Structure 1
Amino acid sequence: MTILPEQPVFRFAPSPNGLLHLGHALSAILNHDMAAATNGRFLLRIEDIDRARCRPEFEAAIFEDLAWLGLAWEQPVRRQSDHLDLYAETLQRLRTMGVVYPSIMTRGDIRSAVAATEADGAVWPRDPDGSPLYPGHERELSPRAQAAIVAGERPYAWRLDVAAAIKLVAEPLTWRETGAGPTGETGLITADPAGWGDVILSRSDAPSSYHLSVVVDDALQGITHVVRGRDLYHATSVHRLLQRLLNLPEPVYLHHRLVLGPDGRKLSKSNQDTGIAAFRVAGRSPADVRAMILEGAS
């Protein structure tokens, strides 16, 4: 059961690995305005686990863009890079439960396994994003063999043994959706974490994954309402599983529509879609940006 405190708490949690675009503006504005409408709190969190791609100048641009949009947030701002020890401790808890294992297969290894299977006419299972599920061969190794992976020099990642985790929670997982999912779903949604296979929780070049750090941070910050794009709708199944394993509170979720580009795809930093700053430089006002993105936002 979801038990919420009297004061709602919302958050916007961008990664400083590029400039914010209109899709980010929609999510930030929705969270900010919903907090204001419910006498709630609005927090800003910087998700900078990926130190190879995150840059101080992008973080500074986030603050500038959000302030220009007229948004105000509580201080101090939480940065994930300041809490790596906490994520490591949480991963150790999951290791103690026996629901994670070290994995060493590269993307190339996975592609080869998939190709060999499909060449024989079989269908390799894929996650909701269309990526092949991890084979999970290391899952069956003995504790000694897994320890040898950890002690060795080859890079490895810690993966969630989803089947073992589901067995451990031993009851159906659901979440409360107050928006509308990709096909219009709303209300109590049945989670399907098995559809993602054994997701990565930590790897050598990133001490925590999005899945692990987001559930830890949301719990520690008392987030009651997670308002984010529909591209993360199915990932909620993984988050609900981790929340149950770690005995963390369950937020209410709202997955809003995505802002699409002229070609119909969702906006992306990696594709260098037009950033908020470009609209500012072009003479657009914050009201113009709101008008561009808020109509039919839910």
Structure 2
Amino acid sequence: MPQRACQRPVFRFAPSPNGRLHLGHALSACLNFDMAAAAGGRFLLRIEDIDQSRCTPALEQAVLEDLHWLGLDWELPVRRQSDHFDAYRAALDRLAAEGLAYPSFMTRGDIRTWVGAWEDQNRRPWPRDPDGARLYPPVDRQRPESERRALMADGRRHAWRIDMERAIAHPAGPLTFHESGDGQTGLIRAEPARWGDAVLSRSDAPSSYHLSVVVDDALQGITHVVRGLDLFAATDLHRLLQSLLGLPEPAYHHHRLILGADGRKLSKSDGSTSLAALRAEGRTPSDIRVMIGL
């Protein structure tokens, strides 16, 4: 299992303050806290507030209150992504300078139109990523550099995307990761190509989740990433970015999800499962641990 020599294990819980925490968050937070304690390690809290339009100080305070109520404590200071935009920009600039990222100008409507025309012509579906989104068309990847610069000089809104064809040719050998969670376990081979030319930053956000999380984990010295199974496939892309940026590889543990009555993953929009609502009903932290199977 990958781990930095002579270093205590480091775990983290990294919520986004764009809604109230629910039972699924409680499972992830408590697992990280418990596993850190069992390993004699450290437990960190990171606030993932890149989306400034949805993340608010009030919701961040609510996150802290919920975690304290659960009986969790963490090292200070808390890392907030909004304080570290320069670090994400530096990582993006490095990828762009090495020809591994490019500006993309197609809107969602442009993508739908292009993919629809391609599917009509080829009479088969255009590939999608593990989350079900259409892979980005090759239009901007194949655009001449002079045309890219002209579009940016004219102020065209654009995102930055990884050039997956070039990126997967960069590592010296197969990418793998060590997994100990509730799905597949052992040494897993990463398959980043299935994500296509994934977004690294948008015009309205300085970094994507994928880029910021690998940068943050490296800067915080995270040795063990414990998160939900819904992010298992994303590890493919994270391992690629870690390799391209020369960042250390943590061990991974993807845990089971808490599902709602409809069989779907809990959402912050479902207030009935929020920790605040359950607390108001008279539930205790011990009750919550029973409800999440701990």
**TM-score, with length taken from structure 2:** 0.96
Partner of residue 130 from structure 1, selected from 129, 132, 141: 132
- What residue in structure 1 maps to residue 189 of structure 2? 190
Amino acid at match of 1:66: L
1:176·1:252 contact (CA, 8 Å) conserved in 2? yes
Q: CA deviation at 1:169?
A: 1.5
Amino acid at match of 2:142: E
- Aligned-residue RMSD, C-alpha: 1.2
- What residue in structure 2 maps to residue 90 of structure 1? 91
Amino acid at match of 1:170: A
Matches within 5 A, 1:1-298: 2-5=2-5, 6-120=7-121, 121-181=123-183, 185-272=184-271, 274-295=273-294
Single out whichever of 265-274 and 153-162 deviates more from structure 2.
Answer: 265-274
1:149·1:156 contact (CA, 8 Å) conserved in 2? no
Question: Which segments of 5 or more consecutive residues in structure 1 lack a partner in the other structure?
Answer: none
Single out whichever of 47-56 and 150-159 deviates more from structure 2.
Answer: 150-159
CA distance in 1 between counterparts of 2:224 and 2:194 reads 24
CA distance in 2 between counterparts of 1:85 and 1:74 reads 23
Q: Alignment partner of 1:74: what SS? A: coil
Amino acid at match of 1:194: A
CA distance in 1 between counterparts of 2:227 and 2:12 reads 9
Q: CA deviation at 1:154?
A: 2.0
Percent identity for Structure 1 against Structure 2: 64
Amino acid at match of 1:101: Y
2:49·2:81 contact (CA, 8 Å) conserved in 1? yes
Q: CA deviation at 1:294?
A: 2.2
Amino acid at match of 2:11: F
CA distance in 2 between counterparts of 1:85 and 1:21 reads 31
Amino acid at match of 2:161: R
Q: CA deviation at 1:271?
A: 4.5
Q: 1:113/1:218 Cα in 2 relative to 1: closer, same or farther (>3 Å)? A: same
CA distance in 2 between counterparts of 1:118 and 1:200 reads 23
| CA offsets 1:32-86 (integer angstroms, 9 cap, x no match) | 0000111100000000000011011110000000000000000000000000111
Q: 1:163/1:170 Cα in 2 relative to 1: closer, same or farther (>3 Å)? A: farther
Q: CA deviation at 1:119?
A: 2.3
CA distance in 1 between counterparts of 2:161 and 2:141 reads 9
1:267·1:273 contact (CA, 8 Å) conserved in 2? no
| CA offsets 1:259-297 (integer angstroms, 9 cap, x no match) | 0000000001145452101111110000000000025xx
Q: Alignment partner of 1:85: what SS? A: helix
**TM-score, with length taken from structure 1:** 0.95
2:101·2:162 contact (CA, 8 Å) conserved in 1? yes
CA distance in 2 between counterparts of 1:234 and 1:273 reads 29
CA distance in 2 between counterparts of 1:272 and 1:234 reads 27
Question: Which segments of 5 or more consecutive residues in structure 2 lack a partner in the other structure?
Answer: none
Single out whichever of 2-11 and 196-205 deviates more from structure 2.
Answer: 2-11
Amino acid at match of 1:191: A
Amino acid at match of 1:73: W
Amino acid at match of 2:118: T
Q: Alignment partner of 2:140: what SS? A: helix
| CA offsets 1:223-263 (integer angstroms, 9 cap, x no match) | 00000000000000000000000110000000001000000
Q: CA deviation at 1:149?
A: 2.6
Q: 1:270/1:146 Cα in 2 relative to 1: closer, same or farther (>3 Å)? A: farther
CA distance in 2 between counterparts of 1:278 and 1:7 reads 36
CA distance in 1 between counterparts of 2:138 and 2:13 reads 34
CA distance in 1 between counterparts of 2:196 and 2:287 reads 42
**Equivalences, count:** 292
CA distance in 2 between counterparts of 1:117 and 1:272 reads 41
